[in-house]
Amino acid sequence: MGSERNAAYDMFDADPASRGLGIELVEAADGAAVARMRVTDAMINGHAIAHGGFVFLLADTAFALACNSCGPATVAAGGEITFVRPARVGDLLTAYATERTRYGRSGIYDVTVTRDDGAVIAEFRGRSRTLVDRPAPADGATPGR
């Protein structure tokens, strides 16, 4: 991956949800991205393992970074995850996102989430959609995408 700043870095800088959970952007370029997050006490469910929603959020963030690493602005059209192993308090999770294909305004991306011991925690597949710039309606409403 290249080391030059791109739209993914700008998007991440404007993302308080991901940054607020301690997610770090490691790198993003050329349709790929790496992000990581340390599992905290606040992320643990009633089974004493990381809540799947937090693992999904990390994978989704890496997916978003990969989608936006080439510009223009791209959003999720959908995503699904398979949880493979649990994560626990203190685990450092790393999400590796890779573009599989882009066609028209759509794309498919795969994300593998690993624990710091290298074990795979989850596999995520995301579907993206590139936004089309449209003029704002006269009434000030947000235009459809």
At position 114, the amino acid (one-letter code) is: T
Radius of gyration of the chain (CA): 16
What pTM, to 2 d.p., does this model score? 0.89
Per-residue pLDDT tens digits for 56-97: 999 999 999 999 999 889 999 999 999 999 999 999 999 999
| pLDDT band at residue 144 using 50, 70 and 90 as cut-offs | very low
Contacts of 45 (CB under 8 A, 6+ apart): 51, 52
pLDDT at 2: 57
> Is it the case that residue 112 has pLDDT exceeding 80?
yes
Largest CA distance in the chain: 55
Question: For residue range 8-26, what is the model confidence (pLDDT) as tens digits?
Answer: 999 999 999 999 999 999 9
83 alpha-carbon distance from chain centroid: 16
The mean of the pLDDT values for the chain is: 92
Q: Which residue has the higher pLDDT, 92 or 135?
A: 92
Q: Is the pLDDT of residue 111 over 60?
A: yes
Alpha helices, DSSP H, located in 77-128:
none
Residue 41 scores a pLDDT above 70: yes
List C-alpha distances in Å: 81 to 5, 12, 26, 98, 126: 29, 22, 21, 15, 9
For residue 134, the model assigns a pLDDT of: 55
Q: Decide if pLDDT at 136 tops 60.
A: no
* 7-130 placed in CATH 2.40.160.20: no
54 and 40 Cβ atoms separated by less than 8 Å: no
What is the residue extent of each domain of the chain? 7-130
Residue pair 45/51 in contact by the 8 Å Cβ criterion: yes
| Six-digit token string for 53 | 């929603």
